[in-house]
Structure 1
Amino acid sequence: MTRAQYLFLSFLSLDLVAFAVVLQQVGYQGISFLPCPLCILQRVGYLDIVITCFFAAGIPRFRKLFHGLAILAAGYGVAVAGHHVWLLSHPGESCGIDPLEIWINQFQLANGLPWLFKADGLCSAQLPAILGLQVPEWSLLWFGLILLVLAITFFKKTKQ
Structure 2
Amino acid sequence: MLPLTTYRNLQVFLVVMAVIGMSFALFFLQRYMGFTPCPLCVFQRIGLIVMGVFALMAALFHPKSMAVRLVLWLGSLVGIGWATVVAGRHVWLQHLPADQVPSCGPGLDYWLDTLPILQVFKEVFAGSGECAAIDWTFMGLSIPEQSLILFSLLLVVHGLVLWRIVRPIASK
TM-score by length of 2: 0.72
User: Match of 1:8?
Assistant: 13
Return the letter of the residue paired with 1:4: N
1:35 counterpart SS class: coil
Instruction: Kindly indicate whether the alpha-carbon contact (under 8 Å) linking 1:94 and 1:123 is maintained by their aligned counterparts in 2.
Output: no
Shift of 1:157: 4.0
User: Size of the alignment, in residue pairs?
Assistant: 141
- Please say which structure displays the higher CA radius of gyration: 2
Return the letter of the residue paired with 2:39: P
Highest RCO, 1 vs 2 (Cα 8 Å, sep ≥ 6)? 1
Shift of 1:143: 0.8
Instruction: Kindly indicate whether the alpha-carbon contact (under 8 Å) linking 1:35 and 1:122 is maintained by their aligned counterparts in 2.
Output: no
Aligned residues: CA RMSD: 2.4
Return the letter of the residue paired with 1:150: H
Shift of 1:152: 3.8
Given the superposition, is the C-alpha separation of residues 151 and 95 from structure 1 closer, same or farther in structure 2, using an over 3 Å criterion? farther
Instruction: Kindly indicate whether the alpha-carbon contact (under 8 Å) linking 1:87 and 1:93 is maintained by their aligned counterparts in 2.
Output: yes
Return the letter of the residue paired with 1:72: V
Whole-angstrom CA distance in 1 between matches of 2:146 and 2:102 = 19
User: Match of 2:85?
Assistant: 79
Shift of 1:71: 1.1
Instruction: Kindly indicate whether the alpha-carbon contact (under 8 Å) linking 1:53 and 1:70 is maintained by their aligned counterparts in 2.
Output: yes
Whole-angstrom CA distance in 2 between matches of 1:153 and 1:133 = 28
Structure 1 residue runs of 5 or longer lacking an equivalent are 107-120
Return the letter of the residue paired with 1:47: I
% identical aligned pairs: 30
Shift of 1:5: 1.8
User: Match of 1:70?
Assistant: 76
**Segment drifting more, 3-12 vs 43-52:** 3-12
User: Match of 1:116?
Assistant: none
Structure 2 residue runs of 5 or longer lacking an equivalent are 1-5, 115-128, 168-172
Whole-angstrom CA distance in 1 between matches of 2:103 and 2:74 = 30
**Mapped pair 1:103 → 2:103:** no
Structure with greater proportional helix content: 2
